[in-house]
Structure 1
C-alpha cells in the first residue's frame, strides 16, 4: 500500500511539473498550419449531432482519417466555439493523462518505480513532444497515444491476470479507438507480439488467433489511410523526386534523425524539409545516417550475444529498441509523405522505447557504480532542467503563425515554404508590403507551388493591384486546375474592377470544384446584390447558411437581401438570428432597425439603433437610422440631435442631411429643411431621395416651378418611379400646365386623375 501511494504521488508530481511547463501553451492561437483547415474551415465540427458524427466517420480531411480526433474538436467547438484555449487545453489534458499512463505502463513492465519515473518524466517534458501538444492540429498524436497506451496496459493485464476475455476485448476496443484517432495506431498488433516476447509467452495457436482481428483491422485502416492520402494528394505532394536507392538513405536518415534529436534536442523546427539532390547526390549526412543505425543495431547485438536474450537487461534493451522501430515505422519514409523528411510529432509515442533504454542504462549505471552515483543523479537532474528550459522556449514558437514561420525561416532560410507561411501571417497582421516580399522569395525558391501565387495575389489585391492579383491567380490555376480558392479570389479581384459577370463566372467555377465552400456562395451572393439580382443572391445565401448554419454574417447578409426585396418580416427574422449568434453585431441591429421602420415598429427601430450605438458609439449610420425612427415617432428634436451627431462623426453622411431636412420640415422650418436637402445632394449627387423630399416641400410651399425642377432631377435618377410622375403632374396642373400634367398621369396610369382633369 505504501508503494502504491508513493507511485501515485510521484506520477502526479511529474504531471504537475508537466502542467507548469506547458501552461503557457494555452495562450497560443490557432496557426495557419492545418489548424484553419481542421478547425475554422471544418464545418463538420460545428454541430454536435449524429449527422455530423457520421460525416466524421465517412470522410477524410486534408488527407487524414481521424474521426475520434474530429469528435474531440466538435466537443470543444460545441462549448467554446473557436476559442483556441479550449483546443490547447484538450491537448494538454490528453498529454497529462498520457504522462500518467506512461508511468503505469513502464511500472507494469519493470516493476520499478525509478524506471517509470525517468521514462514518464522524459516523455512529459522532452522538447520533441512540444509539437504534438502545443500545436492544435497535433491533437491526433496525443489522442491516439492515449488509447494506444490504454490498450497495451490492458493487454499486460490480460497476460498477467489469467488471459481473461474481457481484457483482450477491452484491448481490441481501445485499439479501434486508437486507429480511429490516427492511422499510426495500426502498429499496435505488432507491439502486442513484442509484449508476448517480453513476458516470455509461448507463441502458440491461441496467441496467434487472438490477434487475427487486430491484424485484419490493421489492414483495413491501413488501406483507408492510403486512400485518404491519395484522395487529398499527400502521397504525391512534394517537388523533389527520389529513386529507390535514395529512398533507402532517406529511411535511414529519418530513423537516425529522431534518435539524435531525442538526445540532442536542438535546431528543432515544425518543418524538416526533404533534402535537395545535387549532381545526383543527397547531402553527405544522409549517407552517414544508415551507418549510425547499423552501429546502434550492432551494439544491441553485442549485448544480446554477451548476455543472451533471456537476460533481463538484454531483453529490455531489445524491447525498447523494437518498440521504437515498430511505432516509428509508419512515418519512417517507407511510404513518402509530403515535402518533409521528418516531423517532430512523430516521436510522441516512439520516444517511450528510447527513453525506456535510457532509464535502464541509467539505473544499471547507478547500481553498478555506486561511488559516483551522486554525479549521475546530478547529471540527469541537469539534463531534466535543460529539457524543461528548451521545452518552455520551444512552446513559444507555436504562439501564432508569425512566430511559427519566423522560426522556420530562421532554421531553413534557403527553402521556400517558410516564406510562404510567413507571408500569409504578415497578411493577417496587415503588413502587406512585408507579406509581398516574403511571397516573392517563396516563389523564387519554389515556383511550381500554386499556393505561393494565390498568396501573392491576395497581397496584391490588398494593395489595390487587381490586375497583378489576377495574373497571379491565373498562374495558380494554371499550376492546379481545380484550385477552387484561386477562382474565388480571382472573382473577388474582378468585383473590385467592377467586372461583375466575370466575377460570378469565377465564383461559379470555384464552387463547382468545392461545393461545400460556404464563402464561395456568400461571395457570389454579394455580386448578385450589386447587379440587383436579389433572388439569385437569396438562393446563394440560403445555400451558404445550409453549409454554415452558425455563421452570423450569412444571416445578416440574407437579411439585407430580404430588406431590398421588401420582405421586411423575413428580414427581421434573419437579422434577429444574426444577433442571437453574435449579440454585439451592431450592423445587424442597425439593419434590423431599418426593417422595423418599414414595418412601422418605430419604437423597436429606435431600440435596435440604441443597442448598436451602445456597442459602437462612433457608428454614424446608427444615429441616422435612430433619427429616422424618431422621425417616425414624430420626436423631431431627438431626431435632429441624432442627425447632428451623425454629421459630426461623418460630415459627408448624405442620409443624415436628408433626414434632418425631413425633421426640420416636420417642425415647419422649411428654409432650413431645404438647406439640408441641398447639402445632402451636394454630398451625393446620385442620391435621389432629397430631390423628391425637396420637391414635395416646395409643392406644399406653393413654389410649383421649383418643385417641378426637383421632380425632373429625381426622375432622371429613378425614371420608373410612378409616384414622382403623379406628384409632378399635380405641380404642373397648379402651375397651369394641364397638358404636361396629363402626360405625367398617363405615364403613371393615374386613371382617376386623368378622368377628373384630362377629359376633352
Structure 2
C-alpha cells in the first residue's frame, strides 16, 4: 500500500512539473506561431530550397543523405524540415510549432534525465524550468533555420539518459542506444561531437565513477562514440571549407581567435545570469578587441576554472557544471573560426545546462549549510525564473519578422556591419530601396571590405538601369572578396547590358568554374554562345 501511495505521489509530481514546464514554454513561444520566416538562412533551409519545398519524398530523403548544402552534413535536420513542409503546407507557423514542441520536449527531457542521475527531482525540476524559460534559447526556438539546435539537443539528451541507464544496469545494450542517439544528434547538428566528453564529465559527477583504476575503462567504453564524433567533425570541416565558411589565419589571426574565445566564454557566462541586449549576430572583434576586455575575460576564465577545480571535493557539481559548459561550447568557441560571428545565442542551447546545474546545486548546498538562507534563496530563485520568463517573452517578439529583428539587433550592438547589410537586403526585397541604400552605406562605413554590401549596392544600381555604376560596385565587391560568386555573376550581367559580351562570357565561365550548379550563369552563357546578347537580368 505504501509503495502504491509513493508511486502515485511520484506520478502526481511528474504531472505537475510537466504541466508547469509546458505552461512556461507555451507562454513564451505560442506567439511564434504568428511569426514569419527570417531572411537570414531561412531561404537556404526552407523557402528557397526546392528539395525542402517539395516536401518529404524518397528523392528528398536521398538528397538529405548526400548533400553538404549550407556547409553541413545534417540529413536528419533536412528530413524534419521536409516533413514539416508536407504536414503544414509551407506555412511558417508549422515550422515554428515544431521548434516550440521540440524545445518543450527538451525541457521535459532535462527533468527526466537529471532526476535519476542526480537523485534529486526538486533540483532537476528547477534546472529544467530555467532551461525552458532562458532568453539565450529564444534564437534556437524562434529561428526556423535553427531546427538544428532543438533537434540535436533532443537526441543529445536522450544519449545522456541512455548513458544513465547503462551505468545503472550495466547492460551493454544501452551502449548501442547511446551510439544511435549520438549518431542522430550528430546528423542534426555536428556540435554534438562533445557528447563523449560530456559523458566523461558526468562520470565524475553525479555518477561518481572516477577512480584511478577506472579511468582507462571509462575512456575505452566511449572510444566508438568518440571515433564517430571525429568522423563527423572531419566531414564538417570539409563541408565548411567547401562552402568557404572556415576563415583563414590571415582573416582571423591566431591571437584574435584565442582572445575572442576567452572573451566569448566570459560573455556567455555573464549572459547566462543577465541575458539583456541579445541579438541575432555579434561580429567577431578580431584584433580590435580592447586589451582590458581580453585581460578581464582571461582572469575570470582562469579564476573560475581554478576555483571550481580547487573546491572539487566539496562542490563536485560546480566543477562538473563548469567543465560541461566549457567542453560543450568548445566546438563553436572560435578556435576554428567558421563564419564571421564572434558569439551566438544559439551556441548556448546545450552548454547553458552546465551552468544551470552548477548554479542550482550550489545554491541548494548553501541553503543546506545555513538554514537562514532558505527563504531568501527560494524567493531569489523564483524571482530569477520570473525575470527570465519576462525577458524571453519580450525577446521572442523581436523575432516576428526580419526587419524587426535586424533593427533590434542594431539597437543592442555596436559597429554591426553585417546586420546593416542584412537589413539593407530585407528592405530591398520589400521595395524600400532608398532605405536599403542607406543601410548598405552604413555597413561600408564600418567595414569597407564587406563584399556583400558592395554587391547589394550593385544589384540596386542595375535594377535602376544604372549599369556602369552597378558594374563598379560589383568590381569593388570582387576587389575585397575575389571568390564572391554572385558579385562576379552580377558583373557579367551588367556587362551584357553594356554590350561587353566578351568580358561577360569570361566572367560567366569563371562563375561556372566556381559553382558548376549555377543555373542562371549557365543559361546566360548558353544564350551568349547562341549569339544572343540581349539583357536577361532577373
TM-score, shorter chain, exceeding 0.5:
yes
Inter-CA distance 239–92: structure 2 relative to 1 (3 Å threshold): farther
Contact kept in structure 2, 1:240 and 1:274, CA below 8 Å: no
Contact kept in structure 1, 2:427 and 2:436, CA below 8 Å: yes
Inter-CA distance 238–100: structure 2 relative to 1 (3 Å threshold): farther
* 1:145 Cα deviation after fit: 0.7
Alignment of 1:99-114 (within 5 A): 99-114=107-122
Distance across 2 between alignment mates of 1:405 and 1:414: 13
SS in 2 for 1:79: helix
Please list the CA deviations of residues 8-43 of structure 1 after superposition, one character each: whole Å capped at 9, or x if unmatched.
321232122111211112222222222222223333
Inter-CA distance 380–197: structure 2 relative to 1 (3 Å threshold): closer
Alignment of 1:716-755 (within 5 A): none
Aligned to 1:344: 345
Contact kept in structure 1, 2:76 and 2:184, CA below 8 Å: yes
Distance across 2 between alignment mates of 1:22 and 1:503: 49
Please list the CA deviations of residues 279-325 of structure 1 after superposition, one character each: whole Å capped at 9, or x if unmatched.
xx744211110111222223323433xxx3xx5xx222222122112
Please list the CA deviations of residues 455-506 of structure 1 after superposition, one character each: whole Å capped at 9, or x if unmatched.
1112223333232112212333344444332344345546666888977776
Distance across 2 between alignment mates of 1:271 and 1:437: 20
Please list the CA deviations of residues 234-269 of structure 1 after superposition, one character each: whole Å capped at 9, or x if unmatched.
22169853344x443322212111111100111212
Distance across 2 between alignment mates of 1:19 and 1:442: 37
Moved more, 62-71 or 486-495: 486-495
Distance across 2 between alignment mates of 1:332 and 1:300: 21
Distance across 1 between alignment mates of 2:454 and 2:239: 26
Contact kept in structure 2, 1:67 and 1:180, CA below 8 Å: yes
Contact kept in structure 1, 2:260 and 2:342, CA below 8 Å: yes
Within the candidate set 196, 206, 212, 1:189 is matched to 196
* 1:200 Cα deviation after fit: 2.5
Distance across 1 between alignment mates of 2:269 and 2:244: 29
Alignment of 1:362-377 (within 5 A): 362-377=363-378
Contact kept in structure 2, 1:237 and 1:339, CA below 8 Å: no
Contact kept in structure 1, 2:53 and 2:90, CA below 8 Å: no
SS in 2 for 1:341: strand
Alignment of 1:232-271 (within 5 A): 232-236=243-247, 241-244=252-255, 246-271=256-281
Contact kept in structure 1, 2:136 and 2:349, CA below 8 Å: yes
Distance across 2 between alignment mates of 1:485 and 1:298: 49
Contact kept in structure 1, 2:25 and 2:100, CA below 8 Å: no
Aligned to 1:333: 334
* 1:70 Cα deviation after fit: 1.4
Contact kept in structure 2, 1:12 and 1:100, CA below 8 Å: no
Aligned to 1:180: 187
TM-score (norm 1): 0.64
SS in 2 for 1:267: coil
Distance across 2 between alignment mates of 1:212 and 1:378: 45
Aligned to 1:698: none
Distance across 1 between alignment mates of 2:300 and 2:434: 46
* 1:530 Cα deviation after fit: 12
Aligned to 1:32: 39
Moved more, 323-332 or 49-58: 49-58
Q: Which runs of 5+ in 1 are unaligned?
A: 538-552, 554-760
Inter-CA distance 512–30: structure 2 relative to 1 (3 Å threshold): farther
**Residue 100 of structure 2 corresponds to residue 83 of structure 1:** no
Alignment of 1:398-413 (within 5 A): 398-413=399-414
Alignment of 1:632-711 (within 5 A): none
* 1:414 Cα deviation after fit: 2.4
Please list the CA deviations of residues 562-612 of structure 1 after superposition, one character each: whole Å capped at 9, or x if unmatched.
xxxxxxxxxxxxxxxxxxxxxxxxxxxxxxxxxxxxxxxxxxxxxxxxxxx
Aligned to 1:457: 458
Aligned to 2:232: 221
TM-score (norm 2): 0.89
Contact kept in structure 2, 1:237 and 1:337, CA below 8 Å: no
Alignment of 1:496-507 (within 5 A): none
* 1:187 Cα deviation after fit: 0.9
Distance across 2 between alignment mates of 1:45 and 1:107: 38
Aligned to 2:391: 390
Contact kept in structure 2, 1:432 and 1:462, CA below 8 Å: no
Query: Aligned residues, how many?
Result: 524
Alignment of 1:383-532 (within 5 A): 383-493=384-494, 510-520=511-521
Distance across 2 between alignment mates of 1:149 and 1:10: 18
* 1:132 Cα deviation after fit: 1.0
* Alpha-carbon RMSD: 2.9
SS in 2 for 1:225: helix
Aligned to 2:3: none
Q: Which runs of 5+ in 2 are unaligned?
A: 1-6
Please list the CA deviations of residues 681-706 of structure 1 after superposition, one character each: whole Å capped at 9, or x if unmatched.
xxxxxxxxxxxxxxxxxxxxxxxxxx
Aligned to 1:294: 302
Distance across 1 between alignment mates of 2:30 and 2:250: 38
Within the candidate set 2, 6, 10, 1:3 is matched to 10
Distance across 2 between alignment mates of 1:133 and 1:192: 25
Distance across 2 between alignment mates of 1:238 and 1:464: 40
SS in 1 for 2:311: helix
Distance across 2 between alignment mates of 1:206 and 1:532: 70
SS in 2 for 1:33: helix
Aligned to 1:593: none
| Bigger relative contact order (CA 8 A; separation at least 6) | 2
